[in-house]
Structure 1
Amino acid sequence: MKGGDIIRQAKELAEHVVAQRGMELIDVEYMMEHGRWILRFYIDKPGGVTVDDCGDVSEELGVILDVKDIIRCAYDLEVSSPGPDRPVTKENDFLKYAGRRVRIKTKQPIEGRRNFTATIDGFKEGKVLITDSENKKWEIPFEDIEKARLEIQLGISN
């Protein structure tokens, strides 16, 4: 099974587990790190998640993933808080975090660029609105975003 299929199936399995606990599934990653496959879930809730929250979700997801057997090789399961440089993965996130700095990588170049560091202005009609450090405004189609993460800003809480 390809990485994208694993991520899609893992998201589907995790959404229910996380929602049952009053939390939100922020993102799922499946990647090779230091010679080991890692399946990483980022979860959050108002007020933040605790180590116990992560442990409980990890335990339940571990059982479900073993039963469903969507990954046929050895891997490590991690459940974590998204942290201050949290992934920005949903359309609504770009409204929620308007005014914050973000790093965006696009699937294809836009005017010769794939990497943007800018301030989020909002989201409108399927496009993420940002302003870069040179005060240039960009409209990036949401479906063209490969990855987006908030930049860490001292003194700013999520």
Structure 2
Amino acid sequence: MNKEKIRQLENLLKKVAKEWGLQLISLNLKTNLNPIVIEIIIKKTNGDEISLDDCVVFNSPVSKEIENSNLLNCSYVLEISSQGVSDELTSERDFKTFKGFPVNVELNQKNSKIKFLNGLLYEKSKDFLAINIKGKIKRIPFTEVLRISLCTLKD
């Protein structure tokens, strides 16, 4: 399958997902398998969790659109799933849920040798992230933060 057809398929699936209040997170085609496998990862646009029933219900319109598009001229297996649980904190909900948990903060400081900080998630505002490092609160501007993920603290 060429890149143009993959791009067309992805655009088609994004459109279908949007109609169902979903967002297409990723599309992966395993063309080395027979039949090929189409892996679709979705999430709800309103932030709610994806259930197994959501994946099952979404399967039918996706299958119908793929068949009607004539982009694939072979048999395939369709796998629809959610993102699952990620260690990375991205949403406001994540920051509220995991307040007090150990986090690893990857930094983008050009003039510093420090690239990672470990501590307990203390606070998140629109401008900064605060973590508790051995009893001291460190405020880090979000302009310096690349990634925040759950971890286990190391002494």
Query: Normalised by the shorter chain, which TM-score bucket?
Result: 0.5 to 0.7
CA distance in 1, matches of 2:106, 2:48: 23
What amino acid does structure 2 have at the position aligned with 1:49? I
Which residue does the alignment assign to 1:147? none
CA distance in 2, matches of 1:25, 1:36: 22
Q: Once the two structures are superposed, what CA deviation does each residue of 1:88-120 show, in whole Å capped at 9, x if it has no partner?
A: xxxxxx9947xxxxxxxxxxxxxxxxxxxx955
Which residue does the alignment assign to 2:4? 5
CA contact (8 A) 1:7 1:29 kept: no
Q: 1:52 to 1:119 in 2, by over 3 A?
A: same
Q: 1:24 to 1:135 in 2, by over 3 A?
A: same
Q: 1:7, CA displacement in angstroms? A: 2.6
CA RMSD of aligned residues (A): 3.9
Which residue does the alignment assign to 1:67? 68
CA contact (8 A) 1:6 1:30 kept: no
CA contact (8 A) 2:35 2:74 kept: no
5+ unaligned residues in a row in structure 2: which ranges? 92-103, 117-146
CA distance in 1, matches of 2:38, 2:74: 11
Q: Percent identity?
A: 22
What amino acid does structure 2 have at the position aligned with 1:69? N
Which residue does the alignment assign to 1:39? 38
Q: 1:71 to 1:153 in 2, by over 3 A?
A: farther
TM-score by length of 2: 0.53
CA distance in 1, matches of 2:58, 2:114: 42
Alignment of 1:36-115 (within 5 A): 36-45=35-44, 46-85=47-86, 96=90
What amino acid does structure 2 have at the position aligned with 1:36? P
Q: Once the two structures are superposed, what CA deviation does each residue of 1:35-81 show, in whole Å capped at 9, x if it has no partner?
A: 43111111012121111211121110101110111011211111110
Which residue does the alignment assign to 2:139? none
Question: Where does structure 1 differ by over 2 angstroms across 4 or more consecutive aligned residues?
Answer: 4-7, 32-36, 94-97, 118-121, 134-137, 152-155
Q: How many residue pairs are counted as aligned between the two chains?
A: 107
CA contact (8 A) 1:25 1:44 kept: yes
Q: 1:120 to 1:18 in 2, by over 3 A?
A: farther
Q: 1:21, CA displacement in angstroms? A: 2.0
5+ unaligned residues in a row in structure 1: which ranges? 87-93, 98-117, 122-128, 138-149
TM-score by length of 1: 0.52
CA distance in 2, matches of 1:71, 1:80: 21
Q: 1:20 to 1:31 in 2, by over 3 A?
A: same
